[in-house]
Structure 1
């Protein structure tokens, strides 16, 4: 049973549209200016969070733009006043001591609104081209487990001495520590057994890829059975939303986006070739035809406004606190969702809504 208030977030468009890359209604734009405008508008509308995914090069179109996550997260933290900023991090790319320092800095810039999303990577090519070893699936999780064990202690203000397989840390402490709470939030993605064990031990929130309610219920039940120190684990769900006045209208738009996505077949083939086949996310996505990334429409948030609202309430009752959402076209659908779905699920919007959403 859900115990926390429902929260809604939006994936920042760090590498272009989420559904189809050749959509006339959503031209490719991964620029800082576009990302800033989206996040500021999401905050003004009452969205609670944004996720800034991490890639160094665009995973879909290598010659196109890719927003850099951590510099962007710092800038967004300074520009916003209420929305949570979650920055994804791949442990192989940053030493834990220096990443922990960056996390604490952004936490303090934001006034206690920062979270880091630990992901153990699926896109081999961005590592291999940089000469960074890309370990086997379980090895990446072992590395990530040691990495986050150091980061979590440093961002909690501890003095750390550590001797492990990958890192040696001697008498290290970071100041200033978190000025607003014990430490920034830790989100963890991944659904393999090593990922589940890692999130049970070190995560605050588990990000689940979009999939049907029964599958999500089973995943949540599995994590709730596992031994865990401290407060209960919370849960987030990625989902692509298509909500319209009627179910037929939503289905028509879903079919429209599917037809546009077919134009990206060659891009998707390259992406599959660059991916670790052991990544459970890709195995899950292969089970259904869908629109969007990270499970996309497999969560079933396609239908009338009433249907989408009822399905969201069912996921929330199962334990999902944070819905990290994708839309296309992004900004107009953000507005539709806030206007139509927020009131249907009892989502209250703060009365001190920021007045600095970027102009069209």
Structure 2
């Protein structure tokens, strides 16, 4: 008889650290830039980064997802590896870190998603999770012989998707489902997963998206509309209040960032200017904004330039720029504003993670935001 392995904790959900950390988008890179440091995501490097992040006690390794590039055929923005097969391979290469697949619910059927997520869950022994996205890129959806649905309809479909997925994960008998978007006969998911439910992330920011995240997600990600901690706290409080009052649940709040760490703040800011302003991929970002702005309900007037800058810097993330001390202080300010989870991107992931682990993590431990890895292993 084979030995039964006790399930691993999903650290993005279960870690006691005040600030949980994840490495985001190594499966293709996050910066829109022509700078030679732009990460190209070769597999051997990704495995080294995943193992190093695991050794550092970082809680999550999260993919981005893209089916069609911006900027024309063969543009690097389309070079993102498929996220479930990627996650299974990363899970087999690591020991503790949570592994998150980003999934387009409007493209990937929930029965297929449940089977793939279960596979990752078994390979990882309970460390699997998913970043749920509705999809908003018409050319991408058209590849699947579909038309982009109106904003509200995409979230209505997503609600059904999650309901079906949860039943497939939880139930052991076949069932029928009759919804507006899905009609299933004899649906079942085998083999059985390790977790009762994988960890769900979502970054819905419109009123309808916020409601979806509050209802369905374990971690809701905000797109920071300011670097002012008080304004970030207001966004955080909005999510928490909605989740508590309408759905009777507690959720974590996360934020994505781009990290540039140097010996001086001036050197860090000069590097950002070089890869974002001097060598930024303006054409691809302009196309991204042209497609996306009409659907970006969260954006106040007059922020297109800031959005362009942040996209080129790293998927629209919050800046963690400066010395190790500057970055640690910024992370503390985010924690004080109510942020629980921070996703990290770099142009040079391998060198950036190495410097972050050497110089920033010890400062976060001294601040009481994280326990030393020896205490959490």
| TM value normalised by structure 1 | 0.86
8 Å contact 1:6–1:321 — kept in the other structure?
yes
Equivalent residue pairs, number:
346
* Separation in structure 1 between the aligned mates of residue 72 and residue 371 of structure 2, nearest angstrom: 38
Q: How does 1:206-225 map to 2 (within 5 A)?
A: 206-211=220-225, 212=227, 213-225=229-241
Task: Provide the aligned C-alpha RMSD in A.
Answer: 2.6
* Separation in structure 1 between the aligned mates of residue 66 and residue 256 of structure 2, nearest angstrom: 18
Classify 1:215/1:157 alpha carbon distance in 2 versus 1 (closer, same or farther; 3 Å): farther
8 Å contact 1:45–1:335 — kept in the other structure?
no
Hey, what does 2:202 align to over in structure 1? 188
Hey, what does 2:265 align to over in structure 1? 247
Classify 1:217/1:60 alpha carbon distance in 2 versus 1 (closer, same or farther; 3 Å): farther
* Separation in structure 1 between the aligned mates of residue 299 and residue 347 of structure 2, nearest angstrom: 21
Deviation at 1:281, TM superposition (A): 6.4
* Separation in structure 2 between the aligned mates of residue 38 and residue 60 of structure 1, nearest angstrom: 28
Q: How does 1:117-266 map to 2 (within 5 A)?
A: 117-157=131-171, 160-179=175-194, 181-211=195-225, 212=227, 213-226=229-242, 227-229=245-247, 231-262=249-280, 264-266=281-283
Query: What 5-or-longer segments of structure 1 have no aligned partner?
Result: 355-360
Deviation at 1:321, TM superposition (A): 1.6
8 Å contact 2:87–2:100 — kept in the other structure?
yes
Q: 1:24 aligns with which of 36, 57, 71?
A: 36
* Separation in structure 2 between the aligned mates of residue 344 and residue 352 of structure 1, nearest angstrom: 16
Classify 1:149/1:276 alpha carbon distance in 2 versus 1 (closer, same or farther; 3 Å): farther
Classify 1:353/1:193 alpha carbon distance in 2 versus 1 (closer, same or farther; 3 Å): closer
* Separation in structure 1 between the aligned mates of residue 152 and residue 192 of structure 2, nearest angstrom: 32
Classify 1:77/1:277 alpha carbon distance in 2 versus 1 (closer, same or farther; 3 Å): same
* Separation in structure 2 between the aligned mates of residue 59 and residue 45 of structure 1, nearest angstrom: 34
* Separation in structure 2 between the aligned mates of residue 81 and residue 92 of structure 1, nearest angstrom: 32
SS at structure 1 position matched to 2:66: coil
8 Å contact 1:292–1:326 — kept in the other structure?
no
Between stretches 266-275 and 43-52, larger displacement belongs to: 266-275
Q: How does 1:324-335 map to 2 (within 5 A)?
A: 324-335=343-354
Hey, what does 2:22 align to over in structure 1? 9
Between stretches 287-296 and 4-13, larger displacement belongs to: 287-296
Deviation at 1:164, TM superposition (A): 0.9
Query: What 5-or-longer segments of structure 2 have no aligned partner?
Result: 1-15
8 Å contact 2:70–2:284 — kept in the other structure?
no
SS at structure 1 position matched to 2:344: strand
* Separation in structure 2 between the aligned mates of residue 94 and residue 215 of structure 1, nearest angstrom: 35
1:62 is aligned to 2:73: yes
Classify 1:118/1:62 alpha carbon distance in 2 versus 1 (closer, same or farther; 3 Å): same
Q: Deviations over 1:39-88 (max 9, x none)?
A: 22322333221111111233456314331111111111122111111111
8 Å contact 1:190–1:280 — kept in the other structure?
no
Q: 1:279 aligns with which of 285, 292, 296?
A: 296
